[in-house]
Amino acid sequence: MDSVRRSLLLAGLVAGAVGAAHDAGAQGGAPPCPPGSPAPTVTAQDRQTGAGGALTATHDIDITVSDLPDGTRVDDVQISAPAGAHVIGNDTVISDTPGPLPLTVSWTQFDPDECTGSTTTTLQLQAPAPLSFGKLPRSLQPKKIRFHGKYRGGGWVLTALLRPNTDRRPLEMRFKGVARATLPKASMPFKTVLASLRDLEPGIDRQRYLRGPKWQITARTNFKRTALFLEAGVKTGSSHDHPVGYEFQALQGGKLLLRVRAAGKCNFSGCTWRKFSVRYPGP
């Protein structure tokens, strides 16, 4: 999560720096507009919930600044948000915190005379619905795949629907694996990747991979970005058994959504696990 926040913050800082430089050059010390001057209309739309939908924390909120009521054009529009929120491209705001989000909008106008103005507006962001994978498939239910003290199964697939009000913070995936029929040691570090769920985050349409000895986990969204798919399976074409041990965790915003721990032997047709446990808080 920290890396995504830093990326978003960097994007906001770069945009702000470019805007500030442009503002300084374009305005050239233009005086403030007279008190009582008309201000543009500032509107906001949630990119995920769509037109008329509620503004939701963790979502991309698009900001539109109109011209003045008399038709005078406004230029060099700048948007600033409080700490913890991020402005991207100077027309989109993201905040992971529900509640009021104050924004300041400044601009330059040239008719009848050049001057600078500013106005404030406050957005109300509702809390998002938690990301959830729904009911676990049979292959992730230990009691249903246990035979004579061992667990017989293999890969698994989970789907989380990205509804209009779903939490869009990135899915954090953690994985560690060994080529032994034992669980990885607690001291072994995790490999970690982030699966993007917001339109403006890097990698939103890319498949994310986590690989270990003979085991692989992937995450991807569909073309319409309405569903997230999490898939795990054996990574071998051999008919011979190979020892495999792994632990996988899926989190969002620091909250554990799923943990799978397994150790046993696998071939291309499936696995026999000596140890198999699943922690799933549920939808």
Q: Which of 9-13, 14-18, 50-54 has the highest mean pLDDT?
A: 50-54
Q: Which CATH number fits domain 2-125: 2.30.29, 3.10.450, 3.30.420, 2.60.40?
A: 2.60.40
Check pLDDT > 70 for residue 14: no
Question: Tell me, what's the pLDDT at 174?
Answer: 98
Please report the DSSP string for 65-114 in residue order: EPPPTTS--EEEEEEE--TTEEEETTTEEEESS-EEEEEEEEEEE-SSS-
Q: Where are the domains of the chain?
A: 2-125, 138-279
pLDDT bracket for residue 28 (50, 70, 90): low
Alpha carbons 183 and 276: distance in angstroms, whole number: 9
Contact 83, 16 (CB under 8 A): no
Contact 29, 16 (CB under 8 A): no
135-184 residue pLDDT tens: 999 999 999 999 988 999 889 999 999 999 999 999 999 999 999 999 99
Question: Tell me, what's the pLDDT at 203?
Answer: 87
Question: Tell me, what's the pLDDT at 91?
Answer: 94
What values do phi and psi take at 104, rounded to 5?
A: -115, 130
Check pLDDT > 70 for residue 245: yes
Contacts of 28 (CB under 8 A, 6+ apart): none
205-230 residue pLDDT tens: 999 999 999 999 999 999 999 999 99
Rg (CA), the chain: 25
Decide which of 270 and 282 is more confident.
270
Alpha carbons 25 and 233: distance in angstroms, whole number: 57
76-108 residue pLDDT tens: 999 999 999 999 988 999 999 999 999 999 999
Question: Tell me, what's the pLDDT at 220?
Answer: 95
Question: Tell me, what's the pLDDT at 283?
Answer: 66
pLDDT bracket for residue 281 (50, 70, 90): confident
Question: Tell me, what's the pLDDT at 29?
Answer: 74
Element holding 6 (H helix, E strand): helix 2-27
60-84 residue pLDDT tens: 999 999 999 988 999 999 999 999 9
> pTM of the full predicted structure?
0.82
With 0-12 / 13-18 / 19 or more C-beta atoms within 10 angstroms meaning exposed / middle / buried, residue 273 is buried
Check pLDDT > 90 for residue 247: yes
Mean pLDDT of the region 241-249: 96
Instruction: Please provide the average confidence, as pLDDT, over all residues in the chain.
Output: 89
Check pLDDT > 90 for residue 236: no
Contact 254, 170 (CB under 8 A): no
pLDDT bracket for residue 273 (50, 70, 90): very high
